[in-house]
Chain A
Amino acid sequence: MKILLVDDEYELVSTLAERLSIRGIDADWVTSGEDALAKLTETNYDLAVLDIKMPRLSGLELRKQIQTIQPNMRYIFMTGHGSAEDFFSASSEEGADSYLVKPVNIDDLITKIHESLARRALGSTGHSE
């Protein structure tokens, strides 16, 4: 399993990657959508964890672009919105795969990663969760 973490907060994304690594999950990280797209040209990932609000290229826009490069990837979004309701009202048209509200609980993140990849193995698109 290989994960790509994308968040413009360097201290957040690098620490999150280290904590996933301690738990045996191979996670690369970048701090922008542009860097994520560059990374995707050299490495295949199973899943991307994307911050929604990032400069220039938002997490939702980034997902659209990634889908043309690696169509089988799964996505988990992280949001700094106040609540899940805020998130869904902001992204309902886009169809969220899965989301977590910051601050993220690492165990919840790992559970969602496994659930998402299990669904991929079963062939679900995951757009109606």
Chain B
Amino acid sequence: MHAEWEIVGKEGLNFFGKMSASISHEIKNILAIINENAGLLNDFTIMADKGIPIAPERLKTISTKIAEQVKRADLIVKNMNQFSHSVDEQIQTITLHDLIEVVIKLSLRFAANRGIHLNQQPAVSPVRIISSPFLLQNLIWLCLDKTMDHTGDKKTVSIIAKSVHNGVIIKFTYAGTIGEKSDTFPSAQTAALLLLLKAELEINDEAGELILHLPASLLA
């Protein structure tokens, strides 16, 4: 178990860093948009000083755009905050839909860079488990990252969490072929996470599904 924790610890930092970098990139873009709109307001003021009238409608549009970006930043920071607090307690009761939603939101830029659409299917009823939120987020990200590389022409990965008789499953639906005996997947990092989370991985390329089987409680 010690070796697994070592792998997970090192790679966990890598995961945390990757997500943080993506978030900071998004925030930089938002700041850039606000900066340009503030600059445009300043341009209009200078033009007004020179006697060129400003259309009130333009000011309203700019104000709306700035407000939209502030809202966008607020959502990103909210997700970042949730993500950061996932390391507060090693084991927690987790509502899977919410946890998956955070991972998806944090992964949107990575998906967009590959032209992939991520789709979270609504849960029929809330699915809760007792597990490690940070390790589970890391594992979900690794599965998402892998399936995003194998979507074929559909360019979509759908994710759904369901309760089953002996625990829960998280199903990733893609359209391509991962290969059940892939040399690179599951990686050492994925294998270590699977062990620590008492999870099992099932790849069904025929159905285009990757399924994570998780126990209802890590403490059981």
List residues of A whose CB falls within 8 A of some B CB.
8-9, 11-12, 15-16, 18-19, 22, 53-56, 78, 80-82, 102-104, 106
Q: Mind listing 15 A-B residue pairs with CB under 8 Å?
A: A9-B32, A11-B37, A11-B69, A15-B65, A18-B40, A19-B36, A22-B43, A56-B113, A81-B25, A82-B28, A102-B29, A102-B32, A103-B31, A103-B32, A104-B35
B25–A11 CB distance below 8 A: no
| C-alpha gap A56/B39 in the complex (Å) | 30
| C-alpha gap A89/B113 in the complex (Å) | 20
* B-chain residues with CB within 8 Å of residue A19 when the two chains form the complex: 36, 39-40, 43
A53–B32 CB distance below 8 A: no
The interface bits of chain B over 3-37 (1 if a CB of A lies within 8 angstroms of the residue's CB, else 0) are 00000000000000000000011101101111111
| C-alpha gap A55/B148 in the complex (Å) | 14
| C-alpha gap A16/B36 in the complex (Å) | 6
A9–B24 CB distance below 8 A: no
B113–A102 CB distance below 8 A: no
9 smallest A-B Cβ distances: which pairs?
A103-B35, A80-B28, A15-B36, A102-B32, A103-B32, A80-B25, A55-B112, A11-B33, A12-B33
- Give B54 Cβ to nearest chain A Cβ, in Å: 12
| Interface size range on B against A | 20 to 34
B47 located at the interface, meaning its Cβ lies under 8 Å from any Cβ of chain A in the complex = yes
B29–A55 CB distance below 8 A: no
B114 located at the interface, meaning its Cβ lies under 8 Å from any Cβ of chain A in the complex = yes
- Give B172 Cβ to nearest chain A Cβ, in Å: 21
* A-chain residues with CB within 8 Å of residue B29 when the two chains form the complex: 9, 12, 80, 102
A17 nearest in chain B by CB position: B36
- Give A42 Cβ to nearest chain B Cβ, in Å: 24
A80–B112 CB distance below 8 A: no
| C-alpha gap A19/B46 in the complex (Å) | 12
With A9-B33, A103-B31 as known contacts, state yes or no: A15 contacts B40, CB within 8 Å: yes
Inter-chain pairs besides A80-B24, A102-B31, 13 sampled, C-beta below 8 Å: A9-B32, A11-B33, A15-B37, A15-B40, A16-B36, A53-B25, A54-B113, A55-B113, A80-B28, A80-B32, A103-B28, A103-B32, A104-B36
A15 nearest in chain B by CB position: B36
A15–B43 CB distance below 8 A: no
- Give B50 Cβ to nearest chain A Cβ, in Å: 11
* A-chain residues with CB within 8 Å of residue B112 when the two chains form the complex: 8, 55
- Give A101 Cβ to nearest chain B Cβ, in Å: 8
Please report which residues of chain B, range 122-153, place their CB below 8 angstroms from some CB of chain A when the two chains form the complex.
Answer: none
| C-alpha gap A78/B36 in the complex (Å) | 14
| C-alpha gap A22/B26 in the complex (Å) | 27
* A-chain residues with CB within 8 Å of residue B43 when the two chains form the complex: 19, 22
* A-chain residues with CB within 8 Å of residue B37 when the two chains form the complex: 11, 15
* B-chain residues with CB within 8 Å of residue A104 when the two chains form the complex: 32, 35-36
| C-alpha gap A42/B40 in the complex (Å) | 29
- Give B75 Cβ to nearest chain A Cβ, in Å: 16
- Give A32 Cβ to nearest chain B Cβ, in Å: 10
